[in-house]
Protein backbone atom coordinates (compact mmCIF):
# COMPACT_ATOMS: atom_id res chain seq x y z
CA UNK A 1 0.00 0.00 0.00
CA UNK A 2 2.83 2.34 0.94
CA UNK A 3 4.75 1.37 -2.18
CA UNK A 4 1.75 2.10 -4.36
CA UNK A 5 1.21 5.49 -2.73
CA UNK A 6 4.89 6.38 -3.15
CA UNK A 7 4.81 5.39 -6.81
CA UNK A 8 1.67 7.47 -7.39
CA UNK A 9 3.19 10.47 -5.66
CA UNK A 10 6.39 10.10 -7.68
CA UNK A 11 4.38 9.93 -10.92
CA UNK A 12 2.43 13.05 -9.93
CA UNK A 13 5.57 15.07 -9.31
CA UNK A 14 7.05 13.82 -12.60
CA UNK A 15 3.99 15.28 -14.30
CA UNK A 16 4.68 18.56 -12.50
CA UNK A 17 8.27 18.46 -13.75
CA UNK A 18 6.94 18.09 -17.29
CA UNK A 19 4.53 21.01 -16.85
CA UNK A 20 7.34 23.17 -15.46
CA UNK A 21 9.67 22.20 -18.30
CA UNK A 22 7.03 23.18 -20.88
CA UNK A 23 6.44 26.52 -19.13
CA UNK A 24 10.20 27.08 -19.06
CA UNK A 25 10.43 26.56 -22.84
CA UNK A 26 7.49 28.89 -23.56
CA UNK A 27 8.94 31.76 -21.49
CA UNK A 28 12.48 31.08 -22.68
CA UNK A 29 11.44 31.49 -26.30
CA UNK A 30 9.71 34.79 -25.55
CA UNK A 31 12.99 36.30 -24.29
CA UNK A 32 15.89 34.46 -25.91
CA UNK A 33 15.32 35.99 -29.37
CA UNK A 34 15.73 39.62 -28.28
CA UNK A 35 19.53 39.59 -28.09
CA UNK A 36 19.79 37.84 -31.46
CA UNK A 37 17.73 40.43 -33.37
CA UNK A 38 20.68 42.48 -34.73
CA UNK A 39 22.32 39.33 -36.15
CA UNK A 40 19.02 38.16 -37.63
CA UNK A 41 18.53 41.51 -39.32
CA UNK A 42 22.03 41.45 -40.82
CA UNK A 43 21.74 37.89 -42.18
CA UNK A 44 18.19 37.96 -43.54
CA UNK A 45 17.90 41.62 -44.54
CA UNK A 46 14.96 42.61 -42.36
CA UNK A 47 13.69 46.17 -42.40
CA UNK A 48 13.44 47.75 -38.93
CA UNK A 49 9.64 47.45 -39.03
CA UNK A 50 9.78 43.86 -40.27
CA UNK A 51 12.29 42.88 -37.61
CA UNK A 52 9.82 43.77 -34.87
CA UNK A 53 7.56 40.98 -36.14
CA UNK A 54 10.13 38.36 -35.20
CA UNK A 55 9.03 39.20 -31.65
CA UNK A 56 5.48 40.43 -32.29
CA UNK A 57 4.49 37.47 -34.47
CA UNK A 58 5.14 35.13 -31.55
CA UNK A 59 3.51 37.31 -28.91
CA UNK A 60 0.44 38.06 -31.04
CA UNK A 61 -0.55 34.44 -31.65
CA UNK A 62 0.58 33.32 -28.20
CA UNK A 63 -1.82 35.72 -26.49
CA UNK A 64 -4.53 35.60 -29.15
CA UNK A 65 -4.90 31.81 -29.24
CA UNK A 66 -4.59 31.16 -25.49
CA UNK A 67 -8.32 30.90 -24.78
CA UNK A 68 -8.78 28.52 -27.69
CA UNK A 69 -5.84 26.45 -26.49
CA UNK A 70 -7.32 26.28 -23.00
CA UNK A 71 -10.69 25.14 -24.25
CA UNK A 72 -9.08 22.53 -26.47
CA UNK A 73 -7.21 21.15 -23.44
CA UNK A 74 -10.56 20.65 -21.70
CA UNK A 75 -12.19 19.00 -24.70
CA UNK A 76 -9.36 16.85 -26.02
CA UNK A 77 -7.27 16.34 -22.89
CA UNK A 78 -4.05 17.98 -21.67
CA UNK A 79 -1.91 15.09 -22.96
CA UNK A 80 -3.02 15.56 -26.55
CA UNK A 81 -2.65 19.32 -26.38
CA UNK A 82 0.79 19.14 -24.79
CA UNK A 83 2.03 16.73 -27.44
CA UNK A 84 0.41 18.65 -30.31
CA UNK A 85 1.69 21.97 -28.98
CA UNK A 86 5.22 20.63 -28.49
CA UNK A 87 5.21 19.11 -31.98
CA UNK A 88 4.09 22.37 -33.62
CA UNK A 89 6.51 24.38 -31.48
CA UNK A 90 9.45 22.12 -32.37
CA UNK A 91 8.72 21.92 -36.10
CA UNK A 92 8.26 25.69 -36.38
CA UNK A 93 11.51 26.19 -34.43
CA UNK A 94 13.28 24.02 -36.99
CA UNK A 95 11.77 26.05 -39.84
CA UNK A 96 12.81 29.28 -38.12
CA UNK A 97 16.34 28.08 -37.54
CA UNK A 98 16.71 27.13 -41.23
CA UNK A 99 14.94 30.23 -42.61
CA UNK A 100 16.65 32.05 -45.46
CA UNK A 101 14.07 34.81 -45.95
CA UNK A 102 12.35 37.23 -43.55
CA UNK A 103 8.88 35.95 -44.46
CA UNK A 104 9.81 32.36 -43.57
CA UNK A 105 11.13 33.36 -40.14
CA UNK A 106 8.09 35.49 -39.29
CA UNK A 107 5.76 32.65 -40.39
CA UNK A 108 7.71 30.25 -38.17
CA UNK A 109 7.40 32.63 -35.21
CA UNK A 110 3.64 32.90 -35.75
CA UNK A 111 3.39 29.10 -35.71
CA UNK A 112 5.59 28.96 -32.60
CA UNK A 113 3.17 31.31 -30.86
CA UNK A 114 0.23 29.05 -31.69
CA UNK A 115 2.17 26.06 -30.35
CA UNK A 116 2.92 27.98 -27.15
CA UNK A 117 -0.78 28.90 -26.82
CA UNK A 118 -1.62 25.19 -26.96
CA UNK A 119 1.07 24.34 -24.41
CA UNK A 120 0.66 26.98 -21.72
CA UNK A 121 -2.98 26.37 -20.68
CA UNK A 122 -2.41 22.60 -20.82
CA UNK A 123 0.36 22.91 -18.22
CA UNK A 124 -2.07 24.58 -15.82
CA UNK A 125 -4.73 21.98 -16.57
CA UNK A 126 -2.22 19.27 -15.67
CA UNK A 127 -1.50 20.96 -12.34
CA UNK A 128 -5.17 21.55 -11.51
CA UNK A 129 -6.22 17.99 -12.24
CA UNK A 130 -3.12 16.35 -10.77
CA UNK A 131 -2.91 18.32 -7.51
CA UNK A 132 -6.22 18.52 -5.66
CA UNK A 133 -4.89 18.88 -2.11
CA UNK A 134 -4.42 22.63 -1.31
CA UNK A 135 -0.87 22.42 0.08
CA UNK A 136 0.36 20.27 -2.80
CA UNK A 137 -1.36 22.48 -5.37
CA UNK A 138 0.17 25.60 -3.84
CA UNK A 139 3.65 24.06 -3.99
CA UNK A 140 3.00 23.01 -7.58
CA UNK A 141 2.03 26.57 -8.56
CA UNK A 142 5.15 27.87 -6.85
CA UNK A 143 7.33 25.50 -8.87
CA UNK A 144 5.46 26.33 -12.09
CA UNK A 145 5.87 30.07 -11.51
CA UNK A 146 9.55 29.67 -10.66
CA UNK A 147 10.14 27.72 -13.87
CA UNK A 148 8.89 30.72 -15.84
CA UNK A 149 11.37 32.89 -13.95
CA UNK A 150 14.17 30.48 -14.83
CA UNK A 151 13.09 30.61 -18.48
CA UNK A 152 13.12 34.39 -18.57
CA UNK A 153 16.52 34.59 -16.88
CA UNK A 154 18.02 31.85 -19.05
CA UNK A 155 16.67 33.52 -22.20
CA UNK A 156 18.30 36.85 -21.40
CA UNK A 157 21.68 35.22 -20.80
CA UNK A 158 21.59 32.30 -23.25
CA UNK A 159 20.49 34.50 -26.17
CA UNK A 160 23.70 36.49 -26.01
CA UNK A 161 25.91 33.46 -25.39
CA UNK A 162 24.40 31.39 -28.22
CA UNK A 163 24.42 34.25 -30.73
CA UNK A 164 28.04 35.12 -29.90
CA UNK A 165 29.42 31.58 -29.64
CA UNK A 166 27.41 29.78 -32.32
CA UNK A 167 24.82 31.53 -34.49
CA UNK A 168 21.44 33.18 -34.10
CA UNK A 169 19.98 30.09 -35.79
CA UNK A 170 20.67 28.02 -32.68
CA UNK A 171 18.36 30.27 -30.71
CA UNK A 172 15.62 28.38 -32.59
CA UNK A 173 17.28 25.06 -33.34
CA UNK A 174 17.95 24.37 -29.67
CA UNK A 175 14.19 23.92 -29.21
CA UNK A 176 14.13 20.88 -31.49
CA UNK A 177 15.96 18.34 -29.25
CA UNK A 178 14.33 19.83 -26.15
CA UNK A 179 10.91 19.44 -27.76
CA UNK A 180 11.64 15.84 -28.75
CA UNK A 181 12.54 14.92 -25.18
CA UNK A 182 9.45 16.64 -23.78
CA UNK A 183 7.17 14.92 -26.32
CA UNK A 184 8.46 11.52 -25.22
CA UNK A 185 8.08 12.51 -21.56
CA UNK A 186 4.50 13.65 -22.18
CA UNK A 187 3.60 10.43 -23.97
CA UNK A 188 4.85 8.38 -21.02
CA UNK A 189 3.97 10.45 -17.95
CA UNK A 190 0.52 11.51 -19.16
CA UNK A 191 -0.46 8.16 -20.65
CA UNK A 192 -3.64 7.99 -18.56
CA UNK A 193 -4.66 11.62 -18.96
CA UNK A 194 -7.65 11.21 -21.27
CA UNK A 195 -10.54 13.60 -21.43
CA UNK A 196 -13.94 12.22 -20.51
CA UNK A 197 -15.78 15.04 -22.23
CA UNK A 198 -17.72 14.54 -25.42
CA UNK A 199 -18.59 18.15 -26.18
CA UNK A 200 -17.96 19.83 -29.51
CA UNK A 201 -15.90 22.95 -30.03
CA UNK A 202 -17.88 26.20 -30.06
CA UNK A 203 -16.77 27.31 -33.53
CA UNK A 204 -18.48 30.72 -33.49
CA UNK A 205 -17.02 31.51 -30.07
CA UNK A 206 -13.58 30.25 -31.10
CA UNK A 207 -13.50 32.43 -34.22
CA UNK A 208 -14.86 35.64 -32.66
CA UNK A 209 -12.90 35.28 -29.41
CA UNK A 210 -9.56 34.46 -31.04
CA UNK A 211 -9.94 37.05 -33.82
CA UNK A 212 -11.06 39.68 -31.31
CA UNK A 213 -8.09 39.13 -29.01
CA UNK A 214 -5.66 39.04 -31.93
CA UNK A 215 -7.04 42.28 -33.41
CA UNK A 216 -6.95 44.01 -30.03
CA UNK A 217 -3.35 42.98 -29.36
CA UNK A 218 -2.31 43.87 -32.92
CA UNK A 219 -3.72 47.37 -32.49
CA UNK A 220 -1.87 47.81 -29.21
CA UNK A 221 1.38 46.65 -30.84
CA UNK A 222 0.94 49.14 -33.69
CA UNK A 223 0.82 52.01 -31.20
CA UNK A 224 4.61 51.89 -30.91
CA UNK A 225 4.89 53.28 -34.46
CA UNK A 226 1.63 55.20 -34.84
CA UNK A 227 -0.52 57.48 -32.72
CA UNK A 228 -3.37 55.98 -30.71
CA UNK A 229 -5.96 57.78 -32.86
CA UNK A 230 -4.40 56.73 -36.19
CA UNK A 231 -6.15 54.18 -38.38
CA UNK A 232 -3.40 51.51 -38.00
CA UNK A 233 -4.10 51.56 -34.26
CA UNK A 234 -7.73 52.64 -33.87
CA UNK A 235 -8.97 50.35 -36.66
CA UNK A 236 -7.73 47.08 -35.12
CA UNK A 237 -8.66 48.23 -31.61
CA UNK A 238 -12.25 48.99 -32.58
CA UNK A 239 -12.48 45.78 -34.61
CA UNK A 240 -11.13 43.76 -31.71
CA UNK A 241 -13.54 45.28 -29.21
CA UNK A 242 -16.50 44.71 -31.54
CA UNK A 243 -15.50 41.08 -32.10
CA UNK A 244 -15.13 40.54 -28.36
CA UNK A 245 -18.59 42.06 -27.86
CA UNK A 246 -19.99 39.62 -30.44
CA UNK A 247 -18.09 36.83 -28.68
CA UNK A 248 -19.78 37.74 -25.38
CA UNK A 249 -23.23 37.70 -26.97
CA UNK A 250 -22.54 34.36 -28.68
CA UNK A 251 -21.34 32.81 -25.43
CA UNK A 252 -24.25 34.20 -23.40
CA UNK A 253 -27.16 33.50 -25.75
CA UNK A 254 -26.39 31.23 -28.66
CA UNK A 255 -23.67 28.72 -27.79
CA UNK A 256 -25.03 25.48 -26.35
CA UNK A 257 -21.52 24.45 -25.32
CA UNK A 258 -19.69 27.80 -25.03
CA UNK A 259 -15.93 28.05 -25.40
CA UNK A 260 -15.81 30.47 -22.45
CA UNK A 261 -18.78 29.79 -20.14
CA UNK A 262 -19.61 33.22 -18.73
CA UNK A 263 -20.90 31.66 -15.51
CA UNK A 264 -17.26 31.09 -14.57
CA UNK A 265 -16.96 34.84 -13.96
CA UNK A 266 -19.47 34.34 -11.15
CA UNK A 267 -16.59 32.70 -9.24
CA UNK A 268 -15.04 35.64 -7.43
CA UNK A 269 -11.52 34.28 -7.62
CA UNK A 270 -11.78 33.96 -11.40
CA UNK A 271 -13.17 37.46 -11.95
CA UNK A 272 -11.02 39.35 -9.43
CA UNK A 273 -7.90 37.27 -10.03
CA UNK A 274 -8.09 37.83 -13.79
CA UNK A 275 -8.39 41.57 -13.22
CA UNK A 276 -5.33 41.56 -11.00
CA UNK A 277 -3.38 39.50 -13.56
CA UNK A 278 -4.25 42.11 -16.19
CA UNK A 279 -2.66 44.77 -13.98
CA UNK A 280 0.22 42.47 -13.10
CA UNK A 281 1.14 42.18 -16.80
CA UNK A 282 2.09 45.86 -16.75
CA UNK A 283 4.12 45.34 -13.56
CA UNK A 284 6.13 42.54 -15.17
CA UNK A 285 6.83 44.61 -18.30
CA UNK A 286 8.01 47.56 -16.21
CA UNK A 287 10.29 45.33 -14.17
CA UNK A 288 12.00 43.13 -16.76
CA UNK A 289 11.72 45.12 -20.02
CA UNK A 290 12.21 48.70 -18.89
CA UNK A 291 14.82 47.87 -16.27
CA UNK A 292 16.83 46.16 -19.02
CA UNK A 293 16.48 49.28 -21.18
CA UNK A 294 17.59 51.46 -18.25
CA UNK A 295 20.70 49.35 -17.76
CA UNK A 296 21.58 49.48 -21.46
CA UNK A 297 20.48 52.95 -22.57
CA UNK A 298 21.20 54.92 -19.41
CA UNK A 299 24.01 53.07 -17.63
CA UNK A 300 25.64 51.84 -20.86
CA UNK A 301 25.51 48.07 -20.23
CA UNK A 302 25.67 45.56 -23.07
CA UNK A 303 22.68 43.28 -23.63
CA UNK A 304 24.50 40.38 -21.95
CA UNK A 305 25.58 42.56 -19.03
CA UNK A 306 21.99 43.74 -18.63
CA UNK A 307 20.83 40.12 -18.52
CA UNK A 308 23.40 39.32 -15.87
CA UNK A 309 22.44 42.48 -14.00
CA UNK A 310 18.87 41.22 -13.73
CA UNK A 311 19.88 37.73 -12.64
CA UNK A 312 19.85 38.46 -8.86
CA UNK A 313 16.27 39.67 -9.15
CA UNK A 314 15.28 36.59 -11.18
CA UNK A 315 16.82 34.28 -8.57
CA UNK A 316 15.05 36.19 -5.80
CA UNK A 317 11.74 35.81 -7.60
CA UNK A 318 12.21 32.05 -7.93
CA UNK A 319 13.08 31.61 -4.25
CA UNK A 320 10.22 33.80 -3.01
CA UNK A 321 7.71 32.11 -5.36
CA UNK A 322 8.48 28.73 -3.79
CA UNK A 323 8.28 30.21 -0.30
CA UNK A 324 4.98 31.97 -1.04
CA UNK A 325 3.55 28.65 -2.20
CA UNK A 326 4.15 27.18 1.25
CA UNK A 327 2.53 30.21 2.93
CA UNK A 328 -0.54 30.41 0.70
CA UNK A 329 -2.60 27.58 2.28
CA UNK A 330 -2.14 29.18 5.71
CA UNK A 331 -2.47 32.89 4.92
CA UNK A 332 -4.86 32.90 1.98
CA UNK A 333 -4.55 35.09 -1.10
CA UNK A 334 -5.17 38.60 0.16
CA UNK A 335 -2.29 38.99 2.69
CA UNK A 336 0.30 37.80 0.16
CA UNK A 337 -1.06 40.08 -2.56
CA UNK A 338 -1.07 43.07 -0.22
CA UNK A 339 2.50 42.33 0.87
CA UNK A 340 3.55 41.99 -2.77
CA UNK A 341 1.82 45.25 -3.66
CA UNK A 342 3.69 47.04 -0.88
CA UNK A 343 6.93 45.75 -2.37
CA UNK A 344 5.88 47.04 -5.79
CA UNK A 345 5.07 50.52 -4.51
CA UNK A 346 8.28 50.78 -2.46
CA UNK A 347 10.53 49.12 -5.06
CA UNK A 348 9.33 51.08 -8.07
CA UNK A 349 9.26 54.29 -6.05
CA UNK A 350 12.92 53.66 -5.18
CA UNK A 351 13.81 52.73 -8.77
CA UNK A 352 12.19 55.94 -10.02
CA UNK A 353 14.95 57.88 -8.23
CA UNK A 354 17.67 56.35 -10.42
CA UNK A 355 19.50 58.50 -12.98
CA UNK A 356 22.49 58.30 -15.31
CA UNK A 357 24.97 58.76 -12.43
CA UNK A 358 23.41 56.08 -10.23
CA UNK A 359 25.46 53.10 -9.21
CA UNK A 360 24.19 49.61 -9.99
CA UNK A 361 23.95 48.39 -6.39
CA UNK A 362 21.97 51.26 -4.87
CA UNK A 363 20.26 52.53 -8.02
CA UNK A 364 19.10 49.26 -9.61
CA UNK A 365 19.96 46.14 -7.62
CA UNK A 366 18.32 47.18 -4.35
CA UNK A 367 14.95 48.22 -5.79
CA UNK A 368 14.75 45.35 -8.28
CA UNK A 369 15.35 42.83 -5.50
CA UNK A 370 12.44 44.39 -3.60
CA UNK A 371 10.23 44.30 -6.70
CA UNK A 372 11.25 40.67 -7.31
CA UNK A 373 10.05 39.80 -3.82
CA UNK A 374 6.71 41.35 -4.75
CA UNK A 375 6.52 39.35 -7.98
CA UNK A 376 7.38 36.16 -6.13
CA UNK A 377 4.65 36.78 -3.56
CA UNK A 378 2.06 37.86 -6.10
CA UNK A 379 2.27 35.88 -9.33
CA UNK A 380 1.82 32.29 -8.05
CA UNK A 381 -0.76 33.57 -5.58
CA UNK A 382 -2.85 35.16 -8.34
CA UNK A 383 -2.64 32.04 -10.49
CA UNK A 384 -3.80 29.97 -7.51
CA UNK A 385 -6.65 32.42 -6.82
CA UNK A 386 -7.96 32.19 -10.39
CA UNK A 387 -7.83 28.39 -10.53
CA UNK A 388 -8.80 27.51 -6.95
CA UNK A 389 -12.51 26.78 -7.47
CA UNK A 390 -12.49 25.67 -11.09
CA UNK A 391 -15.34 23.24 -11.89
CA UNK A 392 -14.49 19.85 -13.31
CA UNK A 393 -13.71 20.05 -17.01
CA UNK A 394 -12.85 23.78 -16.99
CA UNK A 395 -9.21 23.72 -15.87
CA UNK A 396 -7.88 24.36 -19.36
CA UNK A 397 -10.12 27.32 -20.22
CA UNK A 398 -9.49 28.95 -16.84
CA UNK A 399 -5.75 28.46 -17.30
CA UNK A 400 -6.06 30.02 -20.74
CA UNK A 401 -8.07 32.94 -19.31
CA UNK A 402 -5.49 33.59 -16.57
CA UNK A 403 -2.57 33.62 -18.97
CA UNK A 404 -4.48 35.64 -21.56
CA UNK A 405 -5.18 38.31 -18.94
CA UNK A 406 -1.50 38.40 -18.04
CA UNK A 407 -0.34 38.57 -21.67
CA UNK A 408 -2.90 41.20 -22.69
CA UNK A 409 -1.98 43.26 -19.64
CA UNK A 410 1.66 43.02 -20.65
CA UNK A 411 0.94 44.08 -24.24
CA UNK A 412 -1.17 47.06 -23.16
CA UNK A 413 1.33 47.93 -20.44
CA UNK A 414 4.24 47.88 -22.89
CA UNK A 415 2.41 50.16 -25.34
CA UNK A 416 1.20 52.66 -22.73
CA UNK A 417 4.43 52.76 -20.74
CA UNK A 418 6.62 53.04 -23.85
CA UNK A 419 4.49 55.93 -25.12
CA UNK A 420 4.72 57.69 -21.77
CA UNK A 421 8.48 57.15 -21.53
CA UNK A 422 9.08 58.41 -25.06
CA UNK A 423 6.96 61.53 -24.57
CA UNK A 424 8.61 62.36 -21.24
CA UNK A 425 12.11 61.80 -22.63
CA UNK A 426 11.31 64.03 -25.62
CA UNK A 427 10.31 66.84 -23.27
CA UNK A 428 13.72 66.60 -21.57
CA UNK A 429 15.78 66.16 -24.73
CA UNK A 430 16.47 69.87 -25.30
CA UNK A 431 18.18 70.60 -22.00
CA UNK A 432 19.66 67.22 -21.02
CA UNK A 433 22.04 64.60 -22.35
CA UNK A 434 20.41 61.66 -24.19
CA UNK A 435 21.06 59.35 -21.23
CA UNK A 436 19.58 61.84 -18.75
CA UNK A 437 16.52 62.39 -20.93
CA UNK A 438 15.92 58.64 -21.21
CA UNK A 439 16.39 58.24 -17.47
CA UNK A 440 13.63 60.77 -16.84
CA UNK A 441 11.35 58.84 -19.21
CA UNK A 442 12.06 55.52 -17.51
CA UNK A 443 11.57 57.08 -14.09
CA UNK A 444 8.03 58.01 -15.15
CA UNK A 445 7.46 54.39 -16.19
CA UNK A 446 8.57 53.18 -12.78
CA UNK A 447 6.24 55.63 -11.02
CA UNK A 448 3.35 54.41 -13.18
CA UNK A 449 4.26 50.83 -12.27
CA UNK A 450 4.12 51.78 -8.59
CA UNK A 451 0.58 52.99 -9.31
CA UNK A 452 -0.26 49.61 -10.84
CA UNK A 453 1.00 47.95 -7.68
CA UNK A 454 -1.33 50.13 -5.62
CA UNK A 455 -4.23 49.27 -7.97
CA UNK A 456 -3.58 45.55 -7.46
CA UNK A 457 -3.80 46.07 -3.70
CA UNK A 458 -7.14 47.88 -4.05
CA UNK A 459 -8.63 45.21 -6.34
CA UNK A 460 -7.45 42.45 -3.99
CA UNK A 461 -9.83 43.82 -1.35
CA UNK A 462 -12.66 42.37 -3.43
CA UNK A 463 -11.46 38.87 -2.55
CA UNK A 464 -12.89 37.09 0.50
CA UNK A 465 -10.85 37.90 3.60
CA UNK A 466 -10.00 34.30 4.37
CA UNK A 467 -9.58 33.15 0.81
CA UNK A 468 -7.40 30.05 0.58
CA UNK A 469 -5.35 28.99 -2.46
As a three-state string, the secondary structure of the chain is: CHHHHHHHHHHHHHHHHHHHHHHHHHHHHHHCCHHHHHHHHHHHCCCHHHHHHHHHHHHHHHHHCHHHHHHHHHHHCHHHHHHHHHHHHHHHHHHHHCCCCHHHHHHHHHHHHHHHHHHHHHHHHHHHHHCCCHHHHHHHHHHHHHHHHHHHHHHHHHHHHHHHHCCCCHHHHCHHHHHHHHHHHHHHHCCCCCCCCCCCCCHHHHHHHHHHHHHHHHHHHHCCCCCCCCHHHHHHHHHHHHHHHHHHHHHHHHCCCCCCCHHHHHCHHHHHHHHHHHHHHHHHHHHHHHHHHHHHHHCCCCHHHHHHHCHHHHHHHHHHHHHHHHHHHHHCHHHHHHHHHHHHHHHHHHHCCCCCCCCHHHHHHHHHHHHHHHHHHHHHHHHHHHHCCCCCCCHHHHHHHHHHHHHHHHHHHHHHHHHHHHHHHHHHCCCCCHHHHHHHHHHHHHHHHHHHHHHHHHHHCCCCCCCCC
In the prediction, which pLDDT does 249 show? 92
In the prediction, which pLDDT does 9 show? 60
Strand runs (DSSP E) across 39-101, as ranges?
A: none
Judged by DSSP in three states, 424 sits in helix
Structural fold of domain 10-201: Growth Hormone; Chain: A; (1.20.1250)
Q: Of the given ranges (153-167, 270-284, 351-365, 442-456), which has the lowest mean pLDDT?
A: 153-167
455 or 202, which is more confident: 455
Please compute the mean of the pLDDT values over residues 241-270 and round it to a whole number: 86
Per residue in 131-162, pLDDT (tens digit) is: 767 677 777 877 887 787 777 777 767 776 77
Q: How many Cα atoms are found within 13 Å in the side-chain-facing hemisphere of 364?
A: 28
- State how far Cα 67 lies from the chain centre: 14
Per residue in 265-307, pLDDT (tens digit) is: 888 888 898 899 999 988 988 888 888 888 888 898 876 787 7
- Comparing CA positions, the residue from 16, 177, 187, 45 lying closest to residue 103 is 45
Q: Of the given ranges (95-109, 313-327, 382-396, 431-445), which has the lowest mean pLDDT?
A: 382-396
Per residue in 193-217, pLDDT (tens digit) is: 444 455 677 888 888 988 888 898 8
CB 177 within 8 A of CB 53: no
CA distance 96 to 103: 10
Structural fold of domain 263-469: Growth Hormone; Chain: A; (1.20.1250)
185 or 50, which is more confident: 185
In the prediction, which pLDDT does 348 show? 95
Q: Where are the domains of the chain?
A: 10-201, 263-469
Judged by DSSP in three states, 208 sits in helix
Q: Of the given ranges (7-11, 31-35, 186-190, 377-381), which has the lowest mean pLDDT?
A: 7-11
Look at residue 7 and tell me whether its pLDDT is greater than 50: no
CA distance 440 to 433: 11
User: Please, which pLDDT band fits residue 349 given cuts at 50, 70 and 90?
Assistant: very high
CB 179 within 8 A of CB 362: no
In the prediction, which pLDDT does 468 show? 46
155 or 456, which is more confident: 456
Are domains 10-201 and 263-469 of this chain identical in fold?
yes
Judged by DSSP in three states, 101 sits in coil
In the prediction, which pLDDT does 370 show? 95
Per residue in 64-92, pLDDT (tens digit) is: 888 888 888 888 888 888 899 999 999 99
pLDDT, the chain, mean: 83
Per residue in 219-247, pLDDT (tens digit) is: 888 887 788 889 999 999 999 999 999 99
Look at residue 314 and tell me whether its pLDDT is greater than 60: yes
127 or 6, which is more confident: 127
In the prediction, which pLDDT does 466 show? 52
Q: What is the DSSP letter of 168?
A: T
Amino acid sequence: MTGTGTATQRATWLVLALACACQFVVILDASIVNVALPSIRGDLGFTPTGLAWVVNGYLLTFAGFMLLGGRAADLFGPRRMLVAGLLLFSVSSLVGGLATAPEALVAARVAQGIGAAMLAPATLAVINTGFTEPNARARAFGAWSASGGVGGMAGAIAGGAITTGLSWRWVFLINVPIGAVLIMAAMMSLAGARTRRRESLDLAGAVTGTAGLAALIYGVMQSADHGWTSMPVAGPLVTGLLLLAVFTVVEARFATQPMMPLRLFGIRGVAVGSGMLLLFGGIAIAMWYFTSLFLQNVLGYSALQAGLGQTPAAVTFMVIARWAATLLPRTGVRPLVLAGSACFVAGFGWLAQAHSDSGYVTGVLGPTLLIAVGIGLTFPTLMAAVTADVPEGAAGIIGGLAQTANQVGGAIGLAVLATAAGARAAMEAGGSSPADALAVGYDLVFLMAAGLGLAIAVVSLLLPRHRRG
